[in-house]
Amino acid sequence: MKSLEELKAIKEKMKSTIDLRHEDPSATKVIVNMGTCGIASGAREVLNAFAEAVAENGITKSVMVSQSGCSGHCENEPVAEVTAPGKEKVIYGNLTPEKAKEIVEKHLIGGTVVEEYKI
Amino acid sequence: MLNDISLCILDIAVNSFKSGAKNIGISLIKSDDRFLFEIKDDGCGISAYTLDKIHKSIDKPEKGTSFNGLKGLYKACGGNCKISSDDIIGTKVTARFLPDFPLGDISGTIMCLLNLCGQGDVMLDFSIECEDKSFTLNSISLYEISCGKEKYYSIKRYVQEGVTEVFKK
């Protein structure tokens, strides 16, 4: 395994070849709760499904998929929050990879909140 | 609870992102008598005071502490883990599991961490050694081998094939 110093050296060397992504204030954010409760309930599969659907639909420039810690909705994990600029945050719970893909299609692309998955 | 090694790794590594780390190194080594993983980062680290609090909370569970992940890890590996940290240099977590402890979906964990890396703002270096085989990946190097619309799927295939191959008997 490389040391942290070696990793930093690789990163420095590669800097010119990569396009660093900076937080875009106009991007819609999908935040998946990745506390231990979320991870134990399937947050990994849900985050991967969101990322895959975002990539598949070619909306990686306008949607950012990220993670946060436990938000206190442990009984409804896996949980994800969708925040679009100028709009109220929507919290979805009891998610599955299939529901995540549906949210991408209906909410992120279609602009319609999926009411049945809201908590 | 975290029922396999892949979830334990993810749970600890997610904390590296939360700590503001820019470089995260993860290694997983399998031999006949153990699974061993090590996660190190250059994040904000844990102060000696907090580290002491973590160890006390592991020994004597109490409500209101936020170290459930580490507690879960301790429980999962039967206490065979070690956390070392410094305010300046980051954190290192090592854990040893019995070889029959479930490995889980290592590819899924790697993909999840790569998704969190973004495009170069956090660098992840992941290595797996299993007997005489090994698989390594670096999140930044991956962006070189991939291209265009197929980027996500080419990375996913690369990870799945690499992990499958290294654990193939």
Q: Mean pLDDT by 10-residue block, N- to C-terminus, for chain B (169 residues)?
A: 89 90 94 90 88 74 56 74 81 88 94 81 92 90 59 88 92
Domain holding A36: CATH number?
A: 3.40.30.10
Q: Which of A39, A50, A66, A74 to mutate to test the interface with B (most CBs of B within 10 A)?
A: A39
- Three-state DSSP state, B85: strand
Nearest partner of B53 among B65, B63, B39, judged by Cα: B65
Across the interface, do A2 and B109 touch by the CB < 8 Å criterion?
Answer: no
Q: How far apart are CA B39 and CA B59, in angstroms?
A: 22
Residue A9 located in a structural domain: no
* Structural domain boundaries, residue B122: 5-167
Least Cα separation, residue B116 to chain A (angstroms): 6
Concatenate the DSSP letters of all residues of A9-43 into one string. HHHHHHGGGS-PPPPPTTSEEEEEE-SHHHHHHTH
> What's A76's DSSP letter?
G
B82 interface with A at CB cutoff 8 Å = no
- Whether A13 is in a domain gets the answer no
Structural domain harbouring A112: 21-117
CA distance A51 to chain B (A): 7
Yes or no: say if B19 and B42 are a contact pair by the CB < 8 Å rule.
no
Measured between alpha carbons, how far is residue B15 from residues A36, A106, B99 in Å?
Answer: 10, 31, 25
> Domain count of chain B?
1
For residue A11, being part of any structural domain is answered with no
- A1, part of any domain: no
Q: Which residue has the higher pLDDT, A17 or A44?
A: A44
Q: Indicate the residue of A2, A40, A47 with minimum beta-carbon distance to B112.
A: A47
CATH label of the domain that carries residue B79? 3.30.565.10
Contacts of A15 in chain B (CB under 8 A): 120
Is residue A30 one of the residues assigned to a domain? yes
Write out the H or E segment, with its range, that includes residue A66. Answer: strand A63-68
The ipTM, to two decimals, is: 0.87
Residue A92 domain-assigned?
A: yes
Indicate whether A71 pLDDT > 80: yes
pLDDT score of B76: 75
